[in-house]
Structure 1
């Protein structure tokens, strides 16, 4: 046997947590990240077309809020079910369901003739979104090396805002050239992205960690060799914690209950103001005295600032640490929302400055929405916990989004921004109380209750 053959046959002693990124990791990032681009596009595109389809379908403020909140309600429904199924039947099988729901629901919106049918289709699309968080998030997490896990998961949030920015860019372009019913093409445009995502995900393997958790060692061994090389095996996978296994039924009664509380509250406080703004961005900006092109393209500018804030936070997630990052994020974004409430009738430039400050500072909490839930729970309940987190946050988001048009009409933009600041302040307080530090830990260490 020559030296090269012997080296190839010799087992590696490197943990799969410590391997450098390879082509498979890059491909998995694209496969899962594409879901977040589509999520951002789908959840934001409704704000682009809402004025046009509301006029055509003769919708009042109640139905405008219901349709804007429909996707969040769908996320709530599928988050629970999808997380449970992901831990029971595997990550890979459900990895293709979300894109299929995106395609079917988006195409259906092209032919709607009533608020009820549009609400039901947006509900279906939201169910696809709800699957992405536990399924795509867990699958990517369980393949990524430890030193790349935080920045890569944080990067998914950046991609969400990229999708949101694309929705405003393409949506406004389609409206400008699509005629009186261009809104139909705007809402259906996400079907194209759904088809691309479905094709990109073909060939994705199952998570070896999940397979080992289910006792399917031969399959896990084969996938490890396929992903990391022939000299890797199950021996290179860090063992799960020796603590007692946590079942779905006793999750809230175990030591993970406090972690679940933290995830639900901070995630809700981060997304409620943001989703409310995105669902009605042109309306909110008009209420803040930004007219014409200021309102149409101010939303694009704000989205780009959200992206910049997430990029900065992603750079800081390992050097600054998770806990300081989330506390500072909520602190300064709360102050920015208070400023928006106090200065809601000021000059356009000043309003945009405060809005931009909120967009930049909330980036820290946004990027941690996927990092914390995936790091704080063990393999057997990871997807379920993420599903619960995403579902519960969408309850608050749906209620907040539904109330926005009525709040703007009855209480004014200033008071609406004060309420948003109050929600953000709750996130600050619970982060000071419960936010842990998981920087530099393996997935098993971060999920353990013994640290």
Structure 2
């Protein structure tokens, strides 16, 4: 479908509902502006993974400090997602959506000037807080603006940008770290460049009409819809929707919301724990597997499959049910990683092939991380719910990232990867028991 700013003359334009409005330039713009958090998250994880081998000798760091710095942005993301997701439900999405990337830009730039691990840790925590806020607010804004029939594809496209950010960091980092012992400073500081661009482009972003209607600000909501979606988009159905009597954070743990809160927290954690742990320390794992091929070639293949999986996942999200895609992806990944764990020195075609399949499926299924959470909660709780799920997932991913290098040194490769396989099996079981089907539903 081609973007347009006008509506078909074959339908009554006065009755075009908000949820079924034709795709226009604004829908694409609000989605594109939300790419920033995902790209930055992947980029910052990728750069710290590349930079750590140079930072460790410069600051005299051991495995515990390496794990902490690798997980630091993830810990900050936990705080930012929960606190600022909740605040977004209280004061609105728009202002925080602008300020979070200002924080990321400043903290990223200051990494160039650090003199020790504590300073770097503090800055990466701040970067994580900004990213976490955007993870809660960005998908919420996109979901609350875009037509329901295109919501899955547009939200899934956000995750693809995570992969682009991670891969960009890998290639740029691989080049920079070869230029000298202090080039890791330049690598980490480059995260300010996309952040500054996002801040400038987000100026003028409107507030969510759904949030405004929840606050009784009907005229403001109508004006925003008329300006950005067209004067003939009808929001009467949204106005007439009953408003919840209670909207506090505690409502996520009551009634029908509790099941979705538990499910969202479990599925997201079971995806990101192995993802972040494995791809933060990918060079270390590949060295342990001793595939017998050039490190740059093996890394390049895996990064290519990350990109292919992210792009292929857009098609899968559009074609498959949410529930079916989630369950089967967990099952395939568990089988692949389990075989690699118990037979790391098996035949090269088998082990490399399994790792490539695992990488493709992991990247494809991760598209659901931006699609599922906004569909699980009503408008009054969406920022809090998405923030909670994102934040809780970062606790798991931070723990996995912190523990993996220690586990590799302590219990070895096989036991460490079997632990990650167990996480994927939990994902299969919890999704089969709890996952609702939300494809094409109208948001409350």
| Long gaps (5+) in structure 1 | 445-451
Q: Which moved more, 1:267-276 or 1:348-357?
A: 348-357
Tell me how far 1:299 sits from its aligned partner: 3.0
- Per the alignment, residue 31 of structure 1 pairs with 33
Tell me how far 1:237 sits from its aligned partner: 4.2
Q: Is contact 1:102-1:194 (8 Å) kept?
A: yes
Tell me how far 1:436 sits from its aligned partner: 0.9
Q: Deviations over 1:393-431 (max 9, x none)?
A: 111111111111111111222221111100111111000
Tell me how far 1:306 sits from its aligned partner: 2.2
For the residues of structure 2 that align with 1:74 and 1:80, how far apart are their CA atoms? 10
For the residues of structure 2 that align with 1:199 and 1:113, how far apart are their CA atoms? 30
For the residues of structure 1 that align with 2:103 and 2:81, how far apart are their CA atoms? 14
- Per the alignment, residue 447 of structure 1 pairs with none
Q: Deviations over 1:18-64 (max 9, x none)?
A: 12210111111110012211221112211111101111111001100
What TM-score do you get using the length of structure 1 for normalisation? 0.92
- Per the alignment, residue 262 of structure 2 pairs with 261
- Per the alignment, residue 112 of structure 1 pairs with 114
- Per the alignment, residue 448 of structure 1 pairs with none
**Structure 2 vs 1, CA of residues 64 and 154 (structure 1 numbering), >3 Å: closer, same or farther?**
same
Size of the alignment, in residue pairs? 435
Alignment root-mean-square deviation, CA: 1.9
Q: Is contact 2:269-2:393 (8 Å) kept?
A: yes
Q: Is contact 2:311-2:364 (8 Å) kept?
A: no
Q: Deviations over 1:92-135 (max 9, x none)?
A: 01012221122111111111121111111111111111111111
- Per the alignment, residue 42 of structure 1 pairs with 44
| Long gaps (5+) in structure 2 | 1-5
For the residues of structure 1 that align with 2:198 and 2:301, how far apart are their CA atoms? 26
For the residues of structure 2 that align with 1:20 and 1:413, how far apart are their CA atoms? 51
Q: Is contact 2:16-2:232 (8 Å) kept?
A: no
Residue of structure 2 aligned with 1:162, choices 161, 164, 169:
164
For the residues of structure 2 that align with 1:237 and 1:243, how far apart are their CA atoms? 13
Q: Is contact 1:326-1:364 (8 Å) kept?
A: no
Within a 5 Å distance, the mapping from 1:76-87 to structure 2 comes to 76-87=78-89
For the residues of structure 2 that align with 1:297 and 1:37, how far apart are their CA atoms? 23
Within a 5 Å distance, the mapping from 1:13-412 to structure 2 comes to 13-177=15-179, 179-235=180-236, 237=238, 239-240=240-241, 244-290=245-291, 294-412=294-412
Q: Which moved more, 1:403-412 or 1:294-303?
A: 294-303
For the residues of structure 1 that align with 2:15 and 2:84, how far apart are their CA atoms? 36
Q: Is contact 2:56-2:66 (8 Å) kept?
A: yes
For the residues of structure 2 that align with 1:68 and 1:242, how far apart are their CA atoms? 43
Task: Tell me the secondary structure at the aligned position of residue 229 of structure 1.
Answer: coil
**Structure 2 vs 1, CA of residues 300 and 130 (structure 1 numbering), >3 Å: closer, same or farther?**
farther
What TM-score do you get using the length of structure 2 for normalisation? 0.93
- Per the alignment, residue 3 of structure 2 pairs with none
